[in-house]
Amino acid sequence: MSDDLTHYELLEVDPGAEKDEIRTAYQSKLANVRAARDKEEETRRPSESVIRAAREEEARLRAAWQVLSDPVQRQRYDTQFHIDDGAGDADDGELDDPDAALVPVERAPARRGGTPAPVAEDGLEIPSTGRRMTAAIIDAVTMIAAWAVVVYPITLGGNLTSGLPAFITEVGTMEFLILVYLVLPTAWTGQTLGKRYTYCMVVDRATGQLPTIGQSLRRYIIPAFAFALLVTTGAVIALIYALSFLMNRDQISLADRFAKTAVVIARYRPERLT
């Protein structure tokens, strides 16, 4: 498909189309492209050029949806390409939505020197290693601090330094923090505190939209079980698990592989697709 097409032409919608119409067109086209790619990959001699072209088209479709689904980006796009026949008018009211700043566009810049952030094979824009490391450190420090604030007064004040009560207190507190600090925020907004601060977010790898609660649980179930079963050793396993994105060029961690998610730059506000 030609790179000269506008986002509207790519999705085959009118510039004044409602957001729901754009979403339907995007989902339909993305499903067709992915089906064609899957069919090619299942052949006895799959063509790398065909597969690569399908991935590039997926990336273009995803980019078009990311821009047109966000009223701020859509308005800027329309202005840039002189599209003046009402595109985005239906969603203009969302510009005043106080939640619109959830994942600010302006504060998610390209890499230093003006070079664009890399795009993974599935068309998602991945953050720098430093940005993702910063998010991981913020989350780890926050959870450890919260755990210590709860556990130490109970164990030391109640003289529960060993035995089953101490174990239940230590493990139960960490499991609760994993649920309320990692799982629920990821399912609700795609962002923990660390990812919000660094303008990253967790999305479903296939659609680029919010992960389901099941995906969020799968992302963190291994470190949760590791800590519950092994405590100190489990914490080390959880750390290795969390930093496994460093072993992959596309930064797909073990958690992402297990949950079929990805951590991307927060240039748009994801939705939960039904």
Largest CA distance in the chain: 71
CA distances from 231 to 216, 226, 254 (A): 22, 7, 20
Lowest mean pLDDT among 8-17, 63-72, 213-222: 63-72
CA distance 193 to 46: 42
pLDDT of residue 79: 86
Let me know: does 211 contact 204? Beta carbons within 8 Å: yes
pLDDT of residue 87: 39
- Range 72-83 burial, b when 16+ CB lie within 10 A, else e: bbbbebbeeeeb
pLDDT surpassing 90 at residue 268 = no
- Tokens 């330094």 belong to which residue? 161
Averaged pLDDT for residues 196-209: 88
Averaged pLDDT for residues 117-137: 75
Higher pLDDT, 6 or 126: 6
CA distance 188 to 85: 35
pLDDT band at 274 (very low <50, low <70, confident <90, very high): low
Helix (H) or strand (E) holding 174: helix 163-177
The domains found in the chain, sorted by start residue, are 7-96 (1.10.287.110), 129-265 (no CATH)
Identity of the highest mean pLDDT range in 109-113, 155-159, 255-259: 255-259
pLDDT of residue 124: 67
Lowest mean pLDDT among 101-105, 155-159, 250-254, 268-272: 101-105
pLDDT of residue 73: 79
Across-strand partners of 23? none
Higher pLDDT, 150 or 228: 150
Mean pLDDT of the chain: 79
Closest to 266 in 3D by CA, of 70, 97, 50, 78? 70
Averaged pLDDT for residues 135-147: 92
CA distance 119 to 39: 23
Please give the model's pTM, rounded to 2 decimal places: 0.60
pLDDT of residue 95: 35
For 78-111, what is each residue's pLDDT tens digit?
888 888 655 344 444 343 333 333 333 333 344 4
pLDDT band at 200 (very low <50, low <70, confident <90, very high): very high
3-state secondary structure of 202: strand
Pairing of strands 200-204, 261-265: antiparallel
pLDDT of residue 196: 94
CA distance 81 to 136: 38
3-state secondary structure of 263: strand
For 17-65, what is each residue's pLDDT tens digit?
998 899 899 889 988 988 888 888 888 888 888 888 888 888 888 888 8
Let me know: does 171 contact 204? Beta carbons within 8 Å: no
User: Which DSSP category does 126 fall into?
Assistant: P
Closest to 179 in 3D by CA, of 234, 133, 245, 227? 227
pLDDT of residue 161: 65
